[in-house]
Amino acid sequence: MFPVAFADAVVSKFTQPGDVVLDPFAGRGTSIFSAAVQRRIGVGIELNPVGWVYTRTKLNPAGREAVEDRIFALGIHAERCRHAADELPEFFRLCFAPRVRRFLLAARELLDWRGNRTDRTTMALLLVHLHGKRTDSLSNQMRQTKSMSPDYAIRWWRHHRMNPPAVDPVAFLTSKLAWRYAKGLPEVTRSHAYLGDSIAKLPELVASTRSGKFSRASLLFTSPPYFHLTNYHYDQWLRLWLLGGPPSAARIGGRHRGKFEDREVYRALLGRVFGTAAGMMKRDAVVYVRTDRREFTYQTTVEVLREAFPCKKLFRRLRPVQGPTQTQLFRNGISQPGEVDLVLLP
């Protein structure tokens, strides 16, 4: 994820109010939300449903009372899920207390997170607190950033003799909701977050731009997936289960859902996305891409950007490690820590 202050600074420096900011690898939507709160129009595409739920909720959250009512309704319906909760695999029984398991199954069954704003906001709150520290989540002790392997988690919990916390999910979530809404909701411009693959969605957006539905973008601001580093769908398997996925950490199929271990597939993805995105950019647009400093990822990204934007001047800004980065989290000990920003100017 982009740090919020960094995203705010980039959007502020390279755009004006009313400009369009495009992110074809939107993740959790930091760039798009930063544009929206600064009176720009954010347009983002995200393949992973978890990131899309977060992004859409940031851009258009439901009111607090509606979400609170939905949480209470889920608590009532949860009592009908007793049998199903007992039938879940061992991981779930060690990760969540019975009351929590029933509540999660109710949410999984009832929340229309794709089509209903209140349900999506409720789901976003659940996803944030689904797992993490025992004192700040619904789960047994676990990392908050990624879902752990079920077998590993089971062994760890048993070794440390840790049982899932006896949390009242309704009380827990309503307290988190109150904290989230304590200072009100931010004012944002109408922006757009699409769930899907940029390979398929970007041509539609380019066509909309040419037809006048969208203005051309003034800033392309993104961080594409890094080559052979992590599988974002696998790392979020538990949150994806809550969204309707399988109750296991089995790797999810799909050409662009893996770890990008094929160099040709990786280069083709970046080439098609940036090449297509060029068709919806203004002539004097700025392109700002954060990527990995490892040689293949870096060189491939530079080559693809030069091909997509041949008339722009490319500048490099090294970003040393100042906190958790993708390469630090998933490849400890690499020779060149940190990331690099590639900035293309007219």
pLDDT in tens, 36-84: 999 999 999 999 999 999 999 999 999 999 999 999 999 999 999 999 9
Q: Which CATH number fits domain 4-48+191-229+250-345: 3.40.50.10800, 3.40.50.300, 3.90.1150.10, 3.40.50.150?
A: 3.40.50.150
pTM confidence score: 0.91
Give the residue carrying structure tokens 């909309």. Answer: 208
Span 238-251, pLDDT tens digits: 999 999 999 987 65
- Of residues 174 and 256, the one with the higher pLDDT is 174
Confidence of residue 319 (pLDDT cuts 50, 70, 90): confident
Q: Are strands 339-345 and 192-195 parallel, antiparallel or unpaired?
A: unpaired
Backbone φ and ψ of 141, nearest 5°? -55, 130
What is the per-residue pLDDT for 289?
Answer: 97
Greatest mean pLDDT among 85-94, 249-258, 317-326: 85-94
Q: Mean pLDDT throughout 26-33?
A: 96
- Where in the chain are the domains? 4-48+191-229+250-345, 64-180
**pLDDT at position 231 over 70:** no
Q: Which helix (H) or strand (E) holds 87?
A: none
Q: Quick one: tokens of 273?
A: 């996305």
Query: What is the pLDDT confidence band of residue 235, given thresholds at 50, 70 and 90?
Result: confident
Asked if pLDDT for residue 254 goes beyond 70, the answer is no
- In angstroms, what CA-CA distances link 142 with 117, 124, 175? 29, 19, 21
